[in-house]
Structure formats: C-alpha cells, structure tokens
Structure 1
Amino acid sequence: MSKQSDIELAKTLEEERRMAMQTGDADALEQMFDDELHYTHSFGNADSKADYIAKFRKGGFIYHELTCTVDTVVRRDDVLIVHGAMWSRATVAGQDRIIDNATSVVWSKTGGSWRLLVFAPTPIKR
C-alpha cells in the first residue's frame, strides 16, 4: 500500500473515531476499540476498553467540539502508527476542559477490521 493511501486510511479511521466520540456513539466506539485497548488520557490516567466504554456510556466524557489531525503515518504490516493532534472542548467527569494534545495512535488490523489498540496523548503547552 502506498504512503498516501496509508494516510487516507488513517484519516478515515480517525474521522470515524472522532464522529463516534463527538456524537456519543458508545456502540460504534465499542466496535472500533480492540479488546486490548490501552487508552491514556491527558492527565496520565489510563483506561481499558471496558473501563472507557463504561465511563463513556455514563457521560464521563462529553465532547462538545472535537478535531483530530493526522500528520504522519508509519505502517508495519497490519499496524498503523499515527502521529497527529487532538483538540477538544469537553466535559470530563463533570468538569469543563479544553484538551489540546499531540497524539500517538496505534490501529491494528484484527479479524479483517481495523481496531484502535493504543491512544497516547501529550499535552501541548502553548
């Protein structure tokens, strides 16, 4: 697969994730998250797939605005390593926040479908 199509694939996957997060679609997130997901948050705490989905369903993460960018993509067989950024205006555990992060995201193709395996943000200090 060409580098350009890897970038397009990553943009598609990230847009699907962004839309599900912003619209509150827990079922879509559950389908796109790998069972071994490691989701690190901006403050360093992390969730498994089950923990993230449970918190999401209870309104623990409400994304009022959310943008994700894809800057670079490295592909190794059925693994995409995506570097980009995520900015959002969100309510997290009842607190309004602005989230501004550089991100490293790992997607893995499992059973014929791409699944989010790792999300790792780094807060951007402006």
Structure 2
Amino acid sequence: MTDTKDCAALQAREHARCAALMAGDAEALDPMLADDLVHIHLNGMADGKASYLAGVRDAYRFRGLSRGDLTIRSYGDFAVMTGPLSQQLEVLSTGQVMDVRAMTTQTWLRQSGEWVLNTCHSTPLQS
C-alpha cells in the first residue's frame, strides 16, 4: 500500500528535480539521480547518469517544464511514478526549440533515506 508520506516526499523530489533542470543546475541534480540511472528519451536514445548530466550542462536549456497529475505507487524503498510531462527545451548547438508532450514512467529508489531517480522512460502523446 502506498504511504502518503512517501507520496509527498516523492512529489517534492520530482519538483526539486524539475527545478534543477529549469535552472540548468547539474550539481543540484546529481544527488537526485541513481548512479545506475537509465533515462530513455522520446527518440529511443538512452542516457546513463554521466551523459544525462552532461546534456543538462552542455546540450540543452529548459525553457518550460511541468508535470500534470502524478500517480505514485510506493513499495517500501521502491516507487513507481507515472504521469504527463510537458516541456520546452532548446538544443544549444542548433538553437532548435522542441515542445515535448509525453507520458512518463519513473522508478525511484530510497537510498540512505533519500529518494533517487533510477529509471525514466517517456513516450510521446498524440496531438
């Protein structure tokens, strides 16, 4: 059964993660990510932690980011979060601006009392 304290902590952690992305703050983002992170993007490309953080630092600027209603199911020190994602980001090398609308599934692990993002997989929403 999902614990309401866990849900609140996970929502706060996701809010902090989104704020770090908007600020382009890879240092703040780093401790929110599991060392064995797998982040699968809409195009099917996958990043580990190092390449994901490098993208935040050097490849993209987030211009807007919002999450809709999130469904959170926690199982002790493991949780699954699903919900919509809307973001606008700029590809720094080209100046291209991308509008993203997706449904995202994330898995979170509690390590040393803190929730860290372990896996993220997004799929585009049909317009």
Q: TM (normalized to structure 1)? A: 0.90
How far is the alpha carbon of 1:40 from its aligned partner? 0.8
Written as runs of structure 1 = structure 2, the 5 A alignment for 1:1-126 is: 3-58=3-58, 60-92=59-91, 94=94, 95-126=96-127
SS in 2 for 1:42: coil
SS in 1 for 2:17: helix
How far is the alpha carbon of 1:122 from its aligned partner? 1.0
SS in 2 for 1:88: strand
Contact 1:26/1:53 (CA < 8 Å) preserved in 2?
Answer: yes
Contact 1:11/1:70 (CA < 8 Å) preserved in 2?
Answer: no
How far is the alpha carbon of 1:2 from its aligned partner? 5.4
SS in 2 for 1:30: helix
User: How many aligned residue pairs are there?
Assistant: 125
Contact 2:65/2:87 (CA < 8 Å) preserved in 1?
Answer: yes
C-alpha RMSD of matched pairs (Å): 1.6
Unpaired stretches in structure 1, ≥5 consecutive residues = none
Q: How far apart, CA to CA, are the structure 2 residues paired with 1:104 and 1:67?
A: 15
Deviation string, structure 1 residues 68-117 (Cα, Å, up to 9, x no partner): 13421111110110011110111135321001011101110112221110
Q: How far apart, CA to CA, are the structure 1 residues paired with 2:54 and 2:88?
A: 21
Contact 2:10/2:115 (CA < 8 Å) preserved in 1?
Answer: no
Unpaired stretches in structure 2, ≥5 consecutive residues = none
